[in-house]
Structure 1
Amino acid sequence: MIKWVAAFLGYFILRFPGAVLGFIVGSLLDNLGGSKGGGRTVFRDFTQQNVSPADFELNLLSLCSIIIKADGQVSQRELDYVRQYFLSTYGKEKANAIFRTFNEVIKKREVSAQRICSYLVQRTRYEVRLQLLHFLFGIAQADGQVSKAEVIKLKELAGYLRIGQHDFESIMAMFIKSADNAYKILEIEKTVTDDEVKKAYRTMAKKYHPDKVVTENEAIKKGAEEKFKEVQKAYEVIQQERGIS
């Protein structure tokens, strides 16, 4: 497992040559780790460590790597999606600092996806975790589709993040299209009345309004804006379909 994460990080730092080097070094670390009691994941629990830059960004990058590897292959488009997102959100200097620190701690600490999510559950509001899941779905879709393996992994992470089933399906509907997508996004059945549609829209608009996402993390703020727009689009689709004024 370490070899894939090391390759992923190496790519961010030195592009393709770094990915190759990271894979080789990670393979050696994998072998060493296996001889010491195997089955353990990449880091120790961040909640017990003082990490700089901010722990949140490092944990976010950890979850990104988990999704990128979920279907058993490292997609160039997904790598580029994450890289561009961090660069555009944090700027080149801070993004590179995050990647460098992550690359350093990867050799020293081990943490499971469950521990990463537990860390975030303890330190973030529910609304922030919803936007985090939205961002992870965006990574999965970056190569053109969200695979079954990625959906399974995303559902697992959603469970660790204590995100409800209806909220998970609502976010998933924004990335995996179906006939009833608009209704799924608003978390209602197609058989509800027009008044219930309006009520659901007001509830979801309030729930996902960017002002509800209290965080200094720009990546999560952008995710909130995107999701809020999807809720608005879903309501407009139903309005047009039903002729609701």
Structure 2
Amino acid sequence: MNFSKWIGAAIGWSFGGPIGAILGLALGSLVDGVANSKDVVVGRAQGASRTQTQPGDFEVSLLILASIVIKADGKQDQRELDFVRNQFVSMYGKDRANHAFKLFKEINKQQNISTRQVCLQIRQMMQHASRLQLIHFLFGIAKADGLVTEDEAQQIATMAGYLGISHNDFESIKAMFYDSSDSAYKILEIDKTATNDDIKKAYRTMAKKYHPDKVIHLGKEHQAGAEEKFRQVQAAYEKLQKERGF
């Protein structure tokens, strides 16, 4: 698959608005005249009639938001860039990952990306479960160098707000990347005063919210990330079971 065919398949509702402008600049640097290619035009036309987020829409959103997070602390760590590339290889295979990372590097060069505008477009078009998956992936990028800095956490928090992610949902995903005494409680969106019955109820609620089937529409390549969130919920519940002996 050549690059123009790949990007034609990847774009959907994302080829419009602020995200479309970002893509246009990136593509202009990569492929001379790509905006006039048959593959891109077909992808754009198909995207106009979509009612559900497709893998390509999620992929493009991920590239743009990842670029913003990586630059949040004022530096770009090679480990974070490697994390992005390795995640794309594991999800999409080497060929598709190479195309995605090529586009990512061009997006990463852009200095004036509006976080608010991009996130509001994603919020309007993307289902809640998919937006939760974006936040989880972004924390993975921030943690790739061994530490989520305050600047990175704040940037992701800002994105979560624009994306319509509640404070509790944000703190739940954030807690999956920190090792603290109350992480298990935060993952289950409860506090230490919760009863054993509260914990059981919270586990059922969170297991349903983070079930991998919630993002099945994004394709099997995104199941691994969803399964990781699901495992974290299970681990949090099992930890509290052991601590409390129920």
TM-score greater than 0.5 by the shorter chain? yes
Q: Secondary structure at the match of 2:218?
A: coil
Deviations 1:180-203 (A, max 9, x none): 111111001111111111111111
For 1:217 and 1:117, the matched residues in 2 are separated by 22
Give me the CA root mean square deviation: 2.6
Deviations 1:101-150 (A, max 9, x none): 45667889974122221222122211111111001000000101101111
Residues 214/117 of structure 1: CA separation in 2 closer, same or farther (3 Å cut): farther
Aligned to 1:3: none
Q: Secondary structure at the match of 1:191?
A: coil
Aligned to 1:38: none
- Which amino acid in the other structure matches residue 153 of structure 1? Q
Residue of structure 1 aligned with 2:130, choices 128, 131, 144: 128
For 2:233 and 2:243, the matched residues in 1 are separated by 15
Residues 105/234 of structure 1: CA separation in 2 closer, same or farther (3 Å cut): closer
Residues 206/133 of structure 1: CA separation in 2 closer, same or farther (3 Å cut): same
Aligned to 2:6: none
Q: Compute the displacement of 1:46 (Å).
A: 2.6
Moved over 4 A (4+): 47-53, 101-111
Q: Secondary structure at the match of 1:198?
A: helix
Q: Secondary structure at the match of 1:54?
A: helix
Q: Compute the displacement of 1:84 (Å).
A: 0.7
Q: Compute the displacement of 1:92 (Å).
A: 2.0
Residue of structure 2 aligned with 1:147, choices 136, 146, 149: 149
For 2:194 and 2:106, the matched residues in 1 are separated by 53
* Structure 2, unpaired ranges of 5+: 1-15, 25-34, 44-54
Alignment of 1:149-164 (within 5 A): 149-164=151-166
Aligned to 1:46: 19
- Quick check: 2:67–2:104 contact (8 Å CA) kept in 1? no
- After TM superposition, the score normalised by the length of structure 1 is 0.74
Aligned to 1:39: none
- Quick check: 2:67–2:108 contact (8 Å CA) kept in 1? no
- Quick check: 2:212–2:226 contact (8 Å CA) kept in 1? yes
- Which amino acid in the other structure matches residue 204 of structure 1? M
Aligned to 1:117: 119
Higher deviation after alignment, 212-221 or 156-165: 212-221
Report sequence identity in percent. 54
- After TM superposition, the score normalised by the length of structure 2 is 0.74
For 1:205 and 1:105, the matched residues in 2 are separated by 35
Q: Secondary structure at the match of 1:128?
A: helix
Residues 116/222 of structure 1: CA separation in 2 closer, same or farther (3 Å cut): farther
Q: Secondary structure at the match of 2:237?
A: helix
Residues 202/191 of structure 1: CA separation in 2 closer, same or farther (3 Å cut): same
- Which amino acid in the other structure matches residue 127 of structure 1? A
Higher deviation after alignment, 207-216 or 138-147: 207-216
For 1:140 and 1:107, the matched residues in 2 are separated by 18
